[in-house]
Amino acid sequence: MGSPEDEAYRLLQEYSNGFMVSQVLFAACELGVFDLLAEAPGPLGSAAVAARLGISCRGTEQLLDACVALRLLRVQVRTGEAVYANTELASAYLARASPTCQQHMLLYMARTTYLCWAHLAEAVRDGENQYLKAFGVSSKELFTAVYRSEAERLQFMRALGDVWSVEGRSVLAAFDLSPFPLVCDLGGCSGALAKECASLYTGCHVTVFDIPDVVQAAKRHFSFPEDGRISFSEGDFFQDPLPEADLYLLARVLHDWTDEKCSRLLARVHRACRTGGGVLVIESLLDADERGPLTTRLYSLNMLVQTEGRERTPAQYRALLGPAGFRDVQCRRTGGTYDAVLARK
Ligand SMILES: C[S@@+](CC[C@H](N)C(=O)[O-])C[C@H]1O[C@@H](n2cnc3c(N)ncnc32)[C@H](O)[C@@H]1O
């Protein structure tokens, strides 16, 4: 104990510096480093990167070398000059041209989530989300009415879609959904998961249900297959009639809300659901003892700082689904960040 080689001391350093790692990643995305290197015909030196992005040489040199240390970029020395290129990680997940790019989510985390986390201690003290303190608007307003701009709403919608380009198939294939031809994705946002569903289950039709502003933005700014198997419906899932369906998807919806509101929503879903149909809840599941996985524990704190909800264990989802009228509740872990819970009417 009390030495620089001490494992506990090293762990403490790693934890306390964690935010710097995130910021290097966020800044490199924000400045367009990975896109520039993806589009360049070959590796570039830091002066060329700085010149093309219109940013300082001093800062660029440091940022690029930090990205190398984080294995986001690779470096080689050519005729005495260090030149940089994307690693496989950056090519797959950080360059906009990649179909599995996660940049929108990283930028949303940089511009919104990170600012809320600056108030974590207050969130724990008050037991409330920190939107008001971080942005001067309540989380209710952020979800249901005004974003600070149309651009911010789009940023959020694109951000939410990123993960389904990587994990959409595994959550939708966790159970065989082919017996459910009519699917309704409640809180389906930009339709990103609906598109994965329609491509995996070629016989199904998916209705994306969301609040009017989100549906309008989805129709205006996102593209959909022309075979008509994805359609939209606008409304408030706590109040308005829900489209009839064999299967309702609730992906990252229940974690936004209190147990009381989840129960209310699930009871409405049960009433609307066709007999023999069901609901597929897609969330990041906590372990039974609620101690992990670490990512899900952190996501649950994120729900504290950004929403009124929390992440839950399989038993906690069962306790919500059963009283709402659902039976045969089955939970499947996918090995990814998001898992699937299927329950039948
Ligand atoms: C955390 S996002 C999840 C989006 C999407 N299901 C996903 O996993 O990418 C929650 C979604 O629920 C929608 N939503 C929130 N309140 C709603 C309401 N009262 N009625 C309908 N949709 C609502 C939001 O607009 C948003 O698209």
List 104, 119, 205, 255, catalytic entry = 255
Classified by CATH at the fold level, domain 169-344 comes out as Rossmann fold (3.40.50)
Interval between CA 194 and ligand 1 midpoint (Å): 13
Nearest atom of ligand 1 to the alpha carbon of 161? 9
pLDDT score at 137: 65
Interval between CA 192 and ligand 1 midpoint (Å): 12
- Which of 236, 268, 239, 249 shows the shortest CA–CA distance to 182? 249
Q: Read out DSSP for 212-228?
A: HHHHHHHHHH----TTS
Q: What is the DSSP letter of 235?
A: S
Residue whose CA is closest, atom 3 of ligand 1? 252
pLDDT score at 146: 40
To which residue do tokens 């008509």 refer?
Answer: 228
Interval between CA 91 and ligand 1 midpoint (Å): 30
Residue whose CA is closest, atom 20 of ligand 1? 236
Q: Which residues of the chain have pLDDT under 50?
A: 143-146
- Paired with 332 in beta bridges are 340
- Paired with 208 in beta bridges are 185, 232
Interatomic CA distance for residues 268 and 71, integer angstroms: 48
Adjacency order of strands within the sheet including 230-234: 230-234, 205-210, 182-186, 245-251, 273-283, 339-344, 327-332
Residues 6+ apart with CB under 8 A from 163: 102, 105, 337, 338
- Can 221 be counted among the known catalytic residues? no
Cβ atoms of 342 and 280 closer than 8 Å: yes
Residue whose CA is closest, atom 13 of ligand 1? 187
CATH 1.10.10.10 for domain 7-93, yes or no, is yes
- Paired with 185 in beta bridges are 208, 249
* Chain center to CA of 41: 32
How do residues 22-62 score in pLDDT, each as one tens digit?
Answer: 999 999 999 999 999 999 999 999 999 999 999 999 999 99
Interatomic CA distance for residues 195 and 161, integer angstroms: 10
Q: Answer yes or no: same fold for 7-93 and 169-344.
A: no
Amino acid identity, position 211: I
Residues 6+ apart with CB under 8 A from 198: 204, 205, 206, 225, 229, 230
Question: Could you tell me the residue ranges of all domains in the chain?
Answer: 7-93, 104-157, 169-344
pLDDT score at 130: 73
- Which of 342, 325, 310, 329 shows the shortest CA–CA distance to 268? 325
Interval between CA 244 and ligand 1 midpoint (Å): 18
Phi, then psi, of 169 in degrees rounded to 5: -65, -40
Largest Cα–Cα distance of the chain, in whole Å? Answer: 71
The reply to whether ligand 1 has any atom less than 6 angstroms from the CB of 143 is: yes
How do residues 278-306 score in pLDDT, each as one tens digit?
Answer: 999 999 999 999 999 999 999 999 999 98
pLDDT score at 140: 56
pLDDT score at 112: 85
Structure tokens at 160: 């939410």
To which residue do tokens 């929503």 refer?
Answer: 265
Cβ atoms of 73 and 20 closer than 8 Å: no
The reply to whether ligand 1 has any atom less than 6 angstroms from the CB of 211 is: yes
Interatomic CA distance for residues 242 and 250, integer angstroms: 13
Interatomic CA distance for residues 55 and 312, integer angstroms: 44
Interatomic CA distance for residues 103 and 20, integer angstroms: 18
